[in-house]
Amino acid sequence: MSKLGNIRTWGQSIWLDNLSRTLIREGTLQRLIEQDGISGVTSNPAIFRKALAESPYYKEDLARLKATVSDPEARYESLVIPDIQAACDLLLPTWKATQANDGYVSLEVSPTLADDATGTITAAHRLHDRVSRDNLMIKVPATKAGMVAFEELVAAGVSVNITLIFSVRQTLDVFHAYLRGARRLVASGGNPEHLKTVASLFLSRVDSHVDPRLAALQTPEAASLQGKIALAVAKQAYHEYKSIFHGEAFAELANAGCKPQYLLWASTGTKNPAYSDVKYLDNLIGSETINTVPDATLDAFRDHGHVASTVENGEQDAQRDLSALRNLGIDPDAVGETLQQEGLKLFVDAFEQMLASC
């Protein structure tokens, strides 16, 4: 097993933050599963926009769809759903071997529905039925409407990757929405055996937003916090995860067969060239977590990453750093709200650009 595969010995799954027909048809995804232990795939509108623009394997199908299907979103779904299904099929052995705890592929509902709970629920069920794979995760944003939809989908037994989380506060809100939905599922007589949800906490964007604000303060204390806040948020979120899912709040649901909602580290490609290109992998390896990683960061970790249990290192420092940030007038919860809106706009823009090309 490769260095990436060895991360599993510490209880963490590595997923690929990329999907395209090229990865599937040329055998790259299969090799990543076999050689590096990749055990899941995440996708989003930006990823599929890039795939449709760069992969030669869509051209024939796109030309046919343009001649027969009038709606661009319907054409888009017809193009990418076979890729999602193929990736699910490749990861099905992982899903079975882990008793439905790993081996998932994420497909996002249209980000234009982020403020429409009913529309999100309807789209989620439609996509879930259309893909028709047990190891599909429907991706829903952690907006107010998205949270309503998330709870309803969990109560209906639909596996969900809830995304665009940027703060500890948002993470806690997601955890509690999952608990409410899972209680409803169990109370209604539903079977939680195949229910799995993850909470996608975005990291590099936090540092990219906070660092310039700290630099502008021009104080030694502010300077000392640069590059530390994203990891502080992640480590504090993991602390909250342990207290909830290894505590009384989850005990009854665990006895009923529900799985804990793992944290998924997202946006783990380092954006600041002054920082290590494996910063958000090396420092967040730990039990019952997932890291979804872009191709370039996978390559970097193979070359010079370090495999060790690190997610709980510096937990007290993380609390101190977040308190210090507040004392400097930067509220990490407010940062999370700002970044969620910015992230949603980026996804909407990417989605609309992709539809324009379809």
From residue 120, alpha-carbon distances to 104, 168, 199, 296 in Å are 20, 24, 17, 32
d(CA 12, CA 309): 9
Annotation marks residue 235 as catalytic: no
From residue 256, alpha-carbon distances to 98, 137, 199, 353 in Å are 18, 21, 21, 44
From residue 139, alpha-carbon distances to 96, 119, 120, 200, 322 in Å are 21, 14, 10, 10, 28
CB 280 within 8 A of CB 308: no
User: How close are the terminal C-alpha atoms of the chain, in Å?
Assistant: 40
DSSP assignment of 255-283 equals HTTPPP-EEEEE--S---TTS-TTHHHHT
* CA-based nearest residue to 162, from 81, 263, 93: 263
Locate 102 and state its tokens: 């790993």
- One of 3, 59, 139, 228 is an active-site residue; which one? 139
From residue 307, alpha-carbon distances to 98, 257, 311 in Å are 22, 31, 11
Active-site positions read 139
